[in-house]
Structure 1
Amino acid sequence: MLTTANSRFETTAWTVSGLGAPIGGVLIGVFGAGATVLLDAVSFLLSAWGIRSLERPEPTPPVAQAERHWVADIRAGWAYIFRHRALHALFWNAMVFGGAIRLTSPLLAILMLRDLHLAPWQYGVALGIPSFGGIIGSLLTSRLVVRLGERPVLLGFGVLRTCWMGFLVLAGPGIAGLVVVVAAETALLFCAGVFNPVFTTFRMRATDDEFMSRVGIAWSISSRSCQPAFIALGGALATVTSVRFAIGCAAVALLASSLLLPWRTWPTRSLDAR
């Protein structure tokens, strides 16, 4: 049940991403960037109003038995991760993979809008359509886990999601380049859509309940710290070389991240795929 629940969360996230980017691209093309940003700000206000209008308030959290400092919690989360061989491997895999993906985000915008001379609405389409690959992948996760097993799905799609970014370097101007970008991104997000729920379930099963929040916090802080560093590195690399060269380096980093998957370690408890 846990894998199924995580795949549904993943499907929801990809659905929102798939609808938002094309709509944003169309709005920019019709009304301009300023009006689109204003509409986006209004959507945040409406979201806050919707949360505020919930009839049933969130229950009061239980009182902690002992006061803990957040630094100690983060340190405990990192210690738990680094003591667990499989989590340790997946942690560095996630840092490199997530960092390389973030590195390409601003560079892909420059490549498409400046170098490939695509319109803003085409850029929005190129961001939105691949998200449906993530939706399809997340919907198929449970079936794939039942048929193939947790370990083959985690490792297999962990490798497959790293194989597609290199095609972005080959994209040329015009519609042909747009098709290459959409196809590569769709394949990448399909594999990520399958991988992510299994990875989330793996991390939850491998973490004791009393360390769940501390591992999650340490993981999140590490990711949010690594990704801006990768973005800055990508910008510097593109400045001294070229956008395509920087994206190519990110593609190599993605391929290398597959070596950090837990190839030799696996928890004794299997994941619940039902």
Structure 2
Amino acid sequence: MGDDATPAETDAGDRVGEVLRLPAFAFFWSATTIRAFGSSVSGVAVQVLIVTVLQATPAEISILSALSVVPYVFLGLIVGALMDRRRRQRTLVITSVGTAVVLASVVVLLLSGALGFWSLALVILVLGVLALFSDSASQPLLPRIVPRDSLVMANARLGQSSTVAATAGPALGGALLTLLGAPLLFAVDATLTAMAAVLQSRIRIEESKPAPRAAGRHVGHDIAEGVRYTYRHRTLRPLALSVHTWFLGNSIVATLFGVFVLRELHLPAWAYGVALAFGAVGGFLGALTATRIGALLGTGRAIFVGRALVILPWLVLAVVPLDAHSGLVVLLALVSTVQFVYALAMGIEDANDTGYRQTVAPDALQGRLNSTIRTVNRVVFLFGALLAGLLATLLGYRVTLGIAAVIFAIAALIVVVSPLRDARHTDTPDRQ
């Protein structure tokens, strides 16, 4: 590290406002926040349409759920490679415009009475493809928008706004759905997405032009280079392996938590909602403190804190001998604390994790690095969701949640026994 690395890092927690004063990041953050709110609002309408209007069967609901993930599994590596050879800012604008058009088509389908299972399935699939391109462009673009020593701060700001959107969006969506109806709700989301496209078009940055491919090389070679870089890098390899392991544990708890709380503990739906609200508060506080924790401990240790902290709530839920007869107040306090600590841990590690990736990888490999990790994460999550159902059937909910806690512990262990432990976001980009 250079002589000025320490001041930059120790002052990081006090410079969050400075990131939002950068015009390019202000446009990027505003567009991302608007899209997050729009998606959270219209997501309520999608769920209502699936259950009440289409009267979808469990098998059809599973198909619709899988369609949003399928593009990441089958196209993730290809799109990631393309994003290292295309203008990412232009891609963001095009995907926002495309998303607005698709959302507007839902309004037409609803008003004409033509919305059915297969037409909604096509909409969800197309939106999934557009989201894949948008995600694959946005993460590699951020290092071109803010200085590298501000990437953790920038990701923390994005995490804060996304948490607020995930909290307020569904509640607002439910109210608007009642007042306006589904067609107008989708029209609102389409309008917000179009506004995001305008903001994204105003981002003024220079994007480096990739070197032409050598003779005989094609996109497959680009993908292989990205995979090799990710899993051969001294610190990015353990980071990727830790993230994949974390996703396995997360897929289990995300699949089972709601069922366990509502079915095993017999908490009412309103109490479940309160617990999720505590999770939103924890996620916001985690994102709010992520920059300062990273500056104080170093990025690697901040990631470890997040990975280690997430073990506790699921271990407690697995071993504390509470059941439906333990009393509403006690159970609500328990599950609310579980969600609070769980989201707090994610808020701390996510900004440091993503910021470190963006700091260390060279611009020419940003798209492939992120798509490699993201694609494997999606595959792991699908496997984990299926595994969760099998384990819960064979072993019960508590034992399965305990297994998830052990998996989270392995993810933390990977960090602490590897060079990632001493990583800092001031590390120099390289091509290890």
2: distance between equivalents of 1:111 and 1:187?
18
Alpha-carbon offset, residue 69 of structure 1: 5.3
Paired position in structure 2 for 1:18: 167
Preserved contact between residue 307 and residue 409 of structure 2 (Cα < 8 Å): no
Q: 2:298 aligns with which of 122, 134, 149?
A: 149
Pick the aligned partner of 2:189 from 36, 47, 56. 47
1:159 match: 308
| Aligned residue number for residue 209 of structure 1 | 363
Decide whether aligned partners of structure 1 residues 147 and 112 sit closer, same or farther in structure 2, where only a CA change above 3 A counts. Answer: same
Shift in CA distance, 160/45, structure 1 to aligned 2, threshold 3 Å: same
1:81: which partner in 2?
Answer: 230
Q: How many residue pairs end up in the alignment?
A: 265
- Aligned amino acid, residue 166 of structure 1: L
Who is 2:265 aligned against? 116
1:101 to 227, 250, 257: 250
Shift of 1:239: 1.4
Distance of 1:23 and 1:118 partners within structure 2: 24
- Counterpart of 2:281? 132
Aligned-partner Cα distance in 2 for 1:57–1:237: 44
Residue type of the alignment partner of 1:201:
G
Deviation at 1:123, TM superposition (A): 1.6
Alpha-carbon distance between aligned partners in 2 of 1:98 and 1:105, rounded to the nearest angstrom: 10
Offset, 1:159:
1.8
Which of 157, 172, 175 aligns to 2:323? It is 172
Counterpart check, 1:242 vs 2:384: no
Write the letter of the residue equivalent to 2:285: I
**Selected match of 1:200 from 354, 357, 374:** 354
Measure how far apart 1:18 and its partner are.
Answer: 2.6
Unpaired runs of 5+ residues, structure 2, are: 1-149, 428-432
Change (3 A) 1:187 1:11: same
Deviations for 1:169-202, whole angstroms, at most 9, x for unmatched residues? 2353233222111102211211221111111121
Q: Is the 8 A contact 1:15 1:131 kept in 2?
A: yes
Instruction: Measure the CA separation in 2 of the matches of 1:84 and 1:183.
Output: 37
Tell me if 1:254 matches 2:408.
yes
Match of 2:399, as an amino acid?
Answer: F
Distance 1:168 1:15 in 2: 26
Contact in 1 for aligned 2:235/2:423 (Cα 8 Å)? no
Deviation at 1:152, TM superposition (A): 2.9
Going from structure 1 to structure 2, the CA distance change for 1:42 and 1:215 (only over 3 Å counts) comes to farther
Percent sequence identity is 23
* 1:164 partner SS: helix
* Partner-residue secondary structure (3-state), 1:261: helix
TM-score, with length taken from structure 1: 0.83
Q: How far 1:163 sits from its partner (Å)?
A: 2.4
- 1:256 is displaced (CA, Å) by 1.9
Q: CA deviation at 1:62?
A: 8.3
Structure 1 65/234 Cα, relative in aligned 2: closer, same or farther at 3 Å? Answer: same
Contact 2:299 2:352 in 1 (8 A): yes
- Distance in structure 2 (CA, Å) of the matches to 1:115 and 1:11: 32
Report if aligned partners of 1:133, 1:186 keep a CA contact under 8 Å in 2. yes
The residue matched to 1:85 in structure 2 has which SS? Answer: coil
Cα distance in 1 between the residues matched to 2:158 and 2:397: 34
> What secondary structure is seen at the aligned counterpart in 2 of 1:118?
coil
- Deviations 1:187-218 (CA, angstroms, capped at 9, x unpaired): 12112211111111211122121111011111
Report the Cα distance in structure 2 between the residues aligned to 1:267 and 1:112, rounded to whole angstroms: 35
1:160 is aligned with what amino acid?
Answer: L
Please provide the CA RMSD for this pair: 3.2
CA 1:41/1:217 → structure 2, altered by over 3 Å: closer, same or farther? farther
> 2:238–2:420: 8 Å Cα contact kept in structure 1?
no
For residues 396 and 172 of structure 2, the distance between their equivalents in structure 1, rounded to whole angstroms, comes to 30
Q: Kindly indicate whether residue 241 of structure 2 is the aligned counterpart of residue 92 of structure 1.
A: yes
- 5+ unaligned residues in a row in structure 1: which ranges? none
User: 1:121: how far off?
Assistant: 2.1
TM-score, length basis structure 2: 0.54
**269 and 98 in structure 1: CA distance in 2 versus 1, 3 angstrom threshold:** closer
2:419 aligns with 265
Shift of 1:87: 1.0
Question: Aligned equivalents of 1:88 and 1:266: distance in 2?
Answer: 9
Larger Rg: 2
CA distance in 2, matches of 1:148, 1:199: 14
CA distance in structure 2 between the partners assigned to 1:129 and 1:190 by the alignment: 10
Task: Tell me the equivalent position of 2:83.
Answer: none
Higher RCO (CA 8 Å, separation ≥ 6 residues): 1
